């Protein structure tokens, strides 16, 4: 399962409303090869899903993940942080054995 915090849900709803995205919009999370630690997180909005997608719902926000990415992200939490250093979505991934300083890439 992939969970999404209240702060992240609020930000997702704000972006969907601000960009006037369709009601069918979902938050798609995944991984791709690259980054300084081997894999990079991906996050974006999508208005389509497939039967193969893992799908989770939390407080009105739907999160989907392709099966290959789910192998690396199962148990992860998506949060939204705002600080002096910047703002953005952050992944808490218990499967990562190491991650880079910026938190945007990891290895298993």
Name residue, tokens 């953005």.
88
Q: Which domain holds residue 16?
A: 3-103
Answer yes or no: is 68 within a domain: yes
Is-contact 17 45, C-beta < 8 A? no
For the chain, how many structural domains are there in total?
1
Answer yes or no: is 85 within a domain: yes
Tell me the CATH number at 68: 2.60.300.12
Alpha carbon 30 to chain centroid, angstroms: 7
Answer yes or no: is 108 within a domain: no
pLDDT digits (tens, 9 = 90+) for 41-85: 899 999 989 999 999 987 778 899 999 999 999 999 999 998 877
- pTM > 0.85: yes or no: no
């Amino acid at each position: 399962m992939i969970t999404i915090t209240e702060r992240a849900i609020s930000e997702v709803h704000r972006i969907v409303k601000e960009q006037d995205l369709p009601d069918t919009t979902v938050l798609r999370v995944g991984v791709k090869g690259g980054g300084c630690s081997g894999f990079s997180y991906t996050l974006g909005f999508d208005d389509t899903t497939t039967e193969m997608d893992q799908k989770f719902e939390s407080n009105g926000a739907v999160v989907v993940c392709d099966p290959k990415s789910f192998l690396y992200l199962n148990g992860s939490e998506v949060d939204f942080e705002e600080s002096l250093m910047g703002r953005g979505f952050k992944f808490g991934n218990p499967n990562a054995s190491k991650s880079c300083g910026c938190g945007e890439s990891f290895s298993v």
